[in-house]
Each structure stands twice: as structure tokens, then as C-alpha cells.
């Protein structure tokens, strides 16, 4: 290829990159248009803008005519990695009316999945109007300024069970959850996370305390994925759930599965060795490793190191800690 042809190829690639970049930032899909603007963003600016500016100048090149074809391709790969859809998507596809003794209410089915990719591990929960109402009150107490312009569907004196009202609330609650999730401090708040996970966790731990390990495990495995997505900035927060899964597998004599989830829990406690679950988890992992014929000496060394740093105090077993979670 002669020099003119090479330059022409580079210009054509540059034009293609510019067209794609322009299209990706100005032509959102129908799904994106329906989401709050804050939900879709480019992950170029993090918490420290000055540090990010320095990293950006090193990590990615700006597209210009002096770049080679290889450099342009690498530039576009970096742009695609940095610019992506964010987090979770909320849908409320259906409802059901529940009549229990003298009460009657509507349960809203909420599907939560990750945006930007096919999510085979979607989470499905159900909440009623009063659950949403309680969440709204709690958030107003802590985030009065952020919640100033957030509207909440009002309760009506009559017609709460008509198809028209139920459909209106389905749409309103979907938009409400998306809007809350688009606000960083709210989506990271314990009150918001509890709204999405606490009822299921309470049921699971109730089954665990009652010795219904199979049922408890089923619920815990459903909720752990959602918990992990909601608490990515705080990996240690899912340790109690992971340890409860370890306890269930261990009591069901699934030692290999118990060890697998124990490793996941330990990985989240690397820099949190003062966590109340750390030593009981190490003790359980040593027992499981010995049973499975795995190396337990490194775990034993960590345990002895931890004991040497701490004053001797009574420590609960992993199961004793688990059964104490979510006790009213």
C-alpha cells in the first residue's frame, strides 16, 4: 500500500470513530430514553477529578490525524471500556391482589436486572404500597434535599384496586425506583438496600434458625446476587449472607459448596480482619479444608496470627453468628 492509500485509510478510520462516538452520545436507544438521565453515564470521571485527568491523559490518546491505525483502534477500545451503561434496571411487569383475613392489598412484582448486557441472574421481589410508602418516609428523614423534587403516588380513599389505578402505580413505582437509584447517596444508603433485600433475608434467616436449611439456602442464593450488585462499593457488607450460605451448605453436608462460598467471604475480608465474622469463618474453613483434603495450613497460620494480635475473648461460632442475624 502506497503512502497516499495509507493516509486515506487512516482518515476513513478516524471518520468512522468520530461518527460512532457522535452516534453513541447523541442517539440513545428507546430503553435509554425512558431511563432517568442520571442512570446512564460515562465512567470517565470518578471521585477525584484531578487524578482522573492525569490518568486519562496517560491511558487514552485523543483522536487526531497523526495517530496510526493501530493507535486509533486502541483509542476506540479504551473509549468503549470507559463509556458504558450503569448499574441496574427496574421493571414492574405485573401485580396481584392479596386478601388476607380482614386486609386486602396489591403486591407489585419488581424485576431487577443489570443494564447493558443480558442478565441471566435477574432478581425478582414483591412489595406492597405500604412498603414503598415506608421507604419514602425513611428517605425523606435522611435525604430531605435530594428527595425535594421526588414525587410519590398518593393513596386514594377509593378505587385502589381498579385496573386503572394499579397500572398508574406500576408505572409510577418503576420511575420512582429508577430515579432513586440514579442518585448515588440514596442507592448506597442502607434504607434503600434494605427495602430491596431485607424481607427476603429475614425470611431466609428465619428458615435457618428453624433448621430449614434447604429453604433458607434457596432464598439466600437468590438474594446474594442482588446484594452484591447493590453494595459493590462495600464488599464486606455481603459477608453475613455469604457465611449464612456456608452454614446452610455445611449443615446439608455439601462441604465443597460451603468451602467455595467461604472463600468468597474471606476474599471480601482481606482488609477487614477485625470483622466479627473473620475468626469464626477461618475456623470453619479450616474444618472444611481438612474434610476436603485441601491445604489448611495457610488458614491455620492466619488464625494464629489473628489470635496473637487480639485479646482472648469469647467468640461465637459461624453458625451462632448466623442465627443471630435479623433477630427482631
Distance between CA atoms of 139 and 134, rounded to whole angstroms? 9
Pull the grid cell for residue 22. 457522535
Residue-level pLDDT at 267: 95
Chain segment 156-211, per-residue pLDDT in tens:
877 788 999 999 999 999 999 999 999 999 999 999 999 999 999 999 999 999 99
Average of per-residue pLDDT across 107-112: 96
Instruction: Report whether 303 contacts 283 (CB < 8 A).
Output: yes
Please give the mean pLDDT across all residues of the chain: 80
Give CA–CA dist 93/220, Å, rounded.
Answer: 24
Burial class (CB in 10 A: 0-12, 13-18, 19+), 163: exposed
Burial class of residue 23 (count of CB atoms within 10 Å of its CB; 0-12, 13-18, 19+): exposed
Nearest residue to 261 via CA among 293, 287, 285, 297: 285
Strands 123-128 and 40-42: unpaired
Q: Across residues 29-42, what is the average pLDDT?
A: 40
Q: Using CA atoms, how far apart are residues 103 and 100, in angstroms rounded to an integer?
A: 5
Cα 309 to Cα 284: distance, rounded to the nearest angstrom:
20
Task: Please give the sequence-ordered ranges of beta strands (E in DSSP) within 8-70, or none if there are none.
Answer: 40-42
Is residue 322 within 8 A of residue 247, CB to CB? The reply is: yes
pLDDT at 71: 63
pLDDT at 41 over 90: no
**DSSP structure class, residue 145:** T
pLDDT in tens, 131-152: 999 999 999 999 999 999 899 9
Q: Phi-psi region for residue 278, left (φ > 0), alpha (ψ -120 to 50) or beta? A: alpha
When pLDDT is averaged across residues 16-28 and rounded to a whole number, the result is 42
Phi, psi (degrees; rounded to nearest 5) at 282:
-60, -45
For every residue of 251-293, DSSP letters joined together read HTT-HHHHHHHHHHHHHTTTT-TTSTTHHHHHHHHHHHHHHHT
pLDDT over 60 at 64, yes or no: no
CB 244 within 8 A of CB 216: yes
pLDDT at 308: 86
Q: With contact defined as beta carbons under 8 Å apart, do 124 and 93 qualify?
A: no
101 confidence band (pLDDT: 50, 70, 90)? confident
* CB within 8 Å of 195: residues ≥ 6 apart: 127, 131, 135
Q: Using alpha carbons only, give the angle 147, 44, 150 rounded to the nearest 5 degrees.
A: 10
Supply the DSSP symbol for 37.
Answer: G
Q: Tell me the average pLDDT across 250-254.
A: 98
Lowest mean pLDDT among 17-21, 206-210, 249-253: 17-21
Cell of 235: 464488599
Predicted TM-score (pTM) of the model is 0.72
Cα separation, 265 vs 239, in Å, equals 5
Domains detected in the chain: 84-188 (3.30.1520.10), 199-327 (1.25.40.10)
The band of 45, judged by pLDDT with boundaries at 50, 70 and 90, is very low
Residue-level length of the chain:
328
- Whether the pLDDT of residue 121 is over 90: the answer is no
φ and ψ of 96, to 5 deg: -150, 145
Amino acid at each position: 500500500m502506497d503512502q497516499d492509500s495509507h493516509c486515506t485509510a487512516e482518515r476513513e478510520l478516524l471518520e468512522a470513530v468520530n461518527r460512532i462516538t457522535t452516534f453513541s452520545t447523541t442517539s440513545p436507544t428507546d430503553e435509554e430514553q425512558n431511563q432517568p438521565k442520571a442512570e446512564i453515564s460515562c465512567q470517565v470521571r470518578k471521585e477525584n477529578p484531578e487524578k482522573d485527568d492525569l490518568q486519562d491523559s496517560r491511558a487514552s490518546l485523543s483522536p487526531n490525524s497523526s495517530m496510526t491505525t493501530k493507535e486509533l483502534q486502541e483509542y476506540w477500545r479504551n473509549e468503549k471500556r470507559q463509556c458504558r451503561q450503569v448499574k441496574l434496571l427496574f421493571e414492574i411487569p405485573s401485580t396481584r391482589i392479596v386478601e388476607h383475613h380482614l386486609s386486602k392489598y396489591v403486591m407489585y412484582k419488581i424485576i431487577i436486572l443489570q443494564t447493558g448486557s443480558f442478565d441471566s441472574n435477574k432478581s425478582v421481589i414483591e412489595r406492597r404500597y405500604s412498603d414503598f410508602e415506608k421507604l419514602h418516609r425513611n428517605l425523606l428523614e435522611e435525604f430531605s434535599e435530594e428527595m425535594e423534587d421526588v414525587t410519590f403516588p398518593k393513596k386514594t380513599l377509593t378505587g385502589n384496586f381498579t385496573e386503572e389505578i394499579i397500572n398508574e402505580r406500576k408505572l409510577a413505582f418503576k420511575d420512582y425506583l429508577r430515579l432513586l437509584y440514579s442518585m448515588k447517596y440514596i442507592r448506597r444508603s442502607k434504607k434503600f438496600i434494605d427495602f430491596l433485600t431485607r424481607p427476603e433475608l429475614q425470611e431466609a434467616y428465619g428458615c435457618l434458625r428453624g433448621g430449614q436449611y434447604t429453604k433458607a439456602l434457596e432464598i439466600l442464593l437468590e438474594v446474594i446476587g442482588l446484594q452484591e450488585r447493590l453494595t459493590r462499593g462495600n464488599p464486606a457488607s455481603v459477608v453475613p449472607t455469604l457465611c449464612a450460605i456456608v452454614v446452610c451448605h455445611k449443615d446439608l453436608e455439601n462441604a465443597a459448596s460451603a468451602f467455595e462460598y467461604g472463600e468468597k467471604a474471606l476474599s471480601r475480608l482481606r482488609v477487614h480482619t477485625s470483622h466479627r465474622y473473620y475468626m469464626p469463618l477461618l475456623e470453619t474453613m479450616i474444618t472444611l479444608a481438612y474434610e476436603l483434603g485441601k491445604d489448611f495450613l495457610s488458614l491455620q497460620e492466619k488464625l494464629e496470627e489473628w489470635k496473637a494480635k487480639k485479646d482472648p475473648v469469647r467468640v461465637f461460632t459461624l453458625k451462632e453468628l448466623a442465627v443471630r442475624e435479623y433477630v427482631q
